[in-house]
Amino acid sequence: MQEPEKILAAQNGDQEALISLLRDIETPLYRTAYYMLGNEQDALDATQEALIKVYKNIHSYQQKAKFTTWAQRIVTNVCIDKCRKKRESISIDEHEYVLNNQGTNHVEEALNRQLVREDVREAIGQLQENHRTVIVLRYMHDLSYKEIAETVDLPINTVKSYLFRARQQLQTLLQDVQKGGVSG
């Protein structure tokens, strides 16, 4: 069953179609939440909350935007609400280190790649909320400017401006890390 048919079936009460849709979007929603909130537990909580909202509000989805864009907007709003409630800096959970059986010859290379990923995650975590949101949607989910604008309910030019400023901030933050040597 194609996505439009699944959506229609879910809106008409087909639980299997709805569960299938939720499974399809769970990982992308988690990825957004993780990059916006900075740690696994908060990301899991936000993902669950967003999935419940999608579940409860599937009937209100009107296909003006892609289903994934609509769901991303929900998880983004959940994350923004959580950030506002916390009002504290975002810490980065460094749990992803796995060498994937690369062997001892590639350990140093794998460590360097991991350190770069951690530096990027930390830098993203230091961005302003609106800048972090557009960076995550653009580069983690490869959304177009139009899709980002629909997701965050902003004009396209504002999205472009946020992305420009966020890229500048990231460049500065990452240059500062590089000047200070390898973090860790």
Give me the chain's average pLDDT, please: 80
Residue pair 137/148 in contact (Cβ under 8 Å)? The answer is yes
Whole-number Å distance between alpha carbons of 101 and 68? 34
Return the closest-CA partner of residue 36 out of 115, 137, 118.
Answer: 137
Whole-number Å distance between alpha carbons of 15 and 136? 31
What is the model's pTM? 0.60
Question: Pick the residue with more confidence: 20 or 84?
Answer: 20
pLDDT tens per residue across span 111-136: 566 667 777 878 888 888 889 889 98
pLDDT tens per residue across span 33-58: 988 888 888 999 999 999 999 999 99
Report the topology of domain 3-179. Answer: Rna Polymerase Sigma Factor; Chain: A (1.10.1740)
Residue pair 33/78 in contact (Cβ under 8 Å)? The answer is yes
- The reported pLDDT for the residue numbered 178 is 65
